[in-house]
A and B are shown apart, each in its own frame.
Chain A
Amino acid sequence: MVARHRVEGLAHNALAAAKISAPADLLAWLAGASSQTARENLVFAAESMRLAKAFEQAGIPFLFVKGVTLSVLAYRSLAFKRACDIDLAVDPDLYVEAAELLRRTGLQCLSPGPSASADEMLAWTARNKHTVWVGRGVAVELHSALVDTPLLLSKVSIHSPRQAVEIGPGMALPTLAPDELFAYLCVHGATHAWSRIKWLADVAALLAHESPETIERLYRRSLELGAGRTSGQALLLSAQLLGLALPEGLERELSSNRAVAYLARVALRSMLRGGGIVELDDMALGTADIHLSHFRLMPGFRFKWSEARRKLAGPADDEPLPGFLQPILAAPRWLLRRARRSRGAA
């Protein structure tokens, strides 16, 4: 379960801090996984510094989200938080230049493909918020947008207020400023229905040292920034599962909000589906709940319609369907894709 939720380092650290005894083989496995996480984070941090220098020299504005900057902000350490890649966001108007810069640094484009032209790159990012690049032992997601759904988090972008996070002596990387970062993390986690508890742990850790008044302020501000119901969902789950202290009035407000309560239930099911061990993508219809929950992340018909159109268009690696065929073929194509993935997993 720890591996499925990618919290090996956090679990190891928590057991040690609480002086909880556990079977020796479990402790040994956690220690090894924790050490691996720390080493990987150092590699990510070094690569992030290399990329930051390249982008600064090229004059392309950028910022990092999640990853090592969040690790330091939430846990004051590079040791605990497991990351799988580097998330680097740039202005969509400079996307082709940014992609070319990644090529020049020696990275290879994995998605859409190593020989993708500028037009193909832009066509890809019109349907998917990032391209994937690999090299030097790391994967980099180059984001043209922070979220897939333009109506969510509409007030946060690469040009939003930022903060510099010191990841080592004299080494700092830019990420979103606290208000925007909180809103972004809530939207990101909610789009996955918090199916990996590490995302919720990050939010709770960020807020752990904040006063209830600050947490309420962050929540209200996140609504202004376009987080919809995601921040309410995140706070309710953090209070229920991770002991985050919320202002009493706010907890009551969130608990009594039917849509937020529904989203919290979906998240709990997503965390525990398959015994909390099996990857959701490896289960038939494992992510159906999550996709359905997307329609409730924000109120209003406009958002639901936007989500429906996005889902009917399918993922970026599918051939785009003509508009009139989308409503007819989208569902069968989705089921076929799920069936292939489940067979592949088996």
Chain B
Amino acid sequence: MISRNGTLLEAEVDGEIVALNVESGTCYGFNSTATRIWSMIEQPRSLDEICSTLVEQFDVQPEACRGDVVELLRELQADGLVRTDPPLAA
């Protein structure tokens, strides 16, 4: 399961999120896809659920989608913004 971790201040403009990690002072800009993923994991979701939703909504191949989602989640995990259980494979 994948869920949010840590605290971000967020503001959404034109379907994209700008966010600030209050503790680290790091700023983030999420494009529309990242914004969609971030919104989905407001409640814990599985990787399969996230990918199947994105494949349905965007014109993207399932394998490519999974690869991009995992890469994004790893970046967010490295910054302490998401929790994954079990951990994402390296």
Chain A residues near B (Cβ < 8 Å): 9, 12, 16, 31, 34-35, 38-39, 41-43, 45-46, 49-50, 77-79, 167-171
Q: Does B27 contact A (CB under 8 A)?
A: yes
Q: State which residues 1-29 of B face A: CB under 8 Å.
A: 4, 7-14, 18-20, 22, 25, 27
B9 touches A45 (CB 8 A): yes
Partner of A39, one of B7, B25, B27: B27
B12 touches A42 (CB 8 A): no
How many residues of B are counted as interface, with CB atoms below 8 angstroms from the partner's CB atoms? 15
Answer whether A45 and B7 are a contact pair too, CB < 8 Å, given A31-B14, A79-B13. Answer: no
Interface majority SS on B: helix, strand, loop or mixed? strand
Chain B residues near A (Cβ < 8 Å): 4, 7-14, 18-20, 22, 25, 27
B13 touches A46 (CB 8 A): no
Cβ–Cβ < 8 Å partners of A9 in chain B = 13
B7 touches A38 (CB 8 A): no
Q: Could you list 19 A-B pairs, sorted by A, with CB under 8 Å?
A: A34-B13, A34-B14, A35-B13, A38-B11, A38-B13, A38-B18, A42-B18, A42-B27, A46-B20, A46-B25, A49-B22, A50-B22, A77-B11, A78-B9, A78-B10, A78-B11, A79-B12, A79-B13, A169-B7
B13 touches A168 (CB 8 A): no
Bound state CA distance, A46 and B8, in angstroms? 10
Partner of B9, one of A12, A16, A42: A42
Cβ–Cβ < 8 Å partners of B18 in chain A = 35, 38-39, 42
Cβ–Cβ < 8 Å partners of A16 in chain B = 14
Interface majority SS on A: helix, strand, loop or mixed? helix
Bound state CA distance, A46 and B26, in angstroms? 11
B20 touches A42 (CB 8 A): yes
A42 touches B7 (CB 8 A): no
Bound state CA distance, A170 and B10, in angstroms? 13
B12 touches A168 (CB 8 A): no
Bound state CA distance, A12 and B9, in angstroms? 21
Cβ–Cβ < 8 Å partners of B10 in chain A = 42, 78, 168
B7 touches A168 (CB 8 A): yes
Cβ–Cβ < 8 Å partners of B27 in chain A = 39, 42
Cβ–Cβ < 8 Å partners of A45 in chain B = 9, 20, 22
Cβ–Cβ < 8 Å partners of B11 in chain A = 38-39, 41-42, 77-79
Cβ–Cβ < 8 Å partners of A41 in chain B = 11
A171 touches B22 (CB 8 A): yes
A117 to nearest B CB, angstroms? Answer: 33
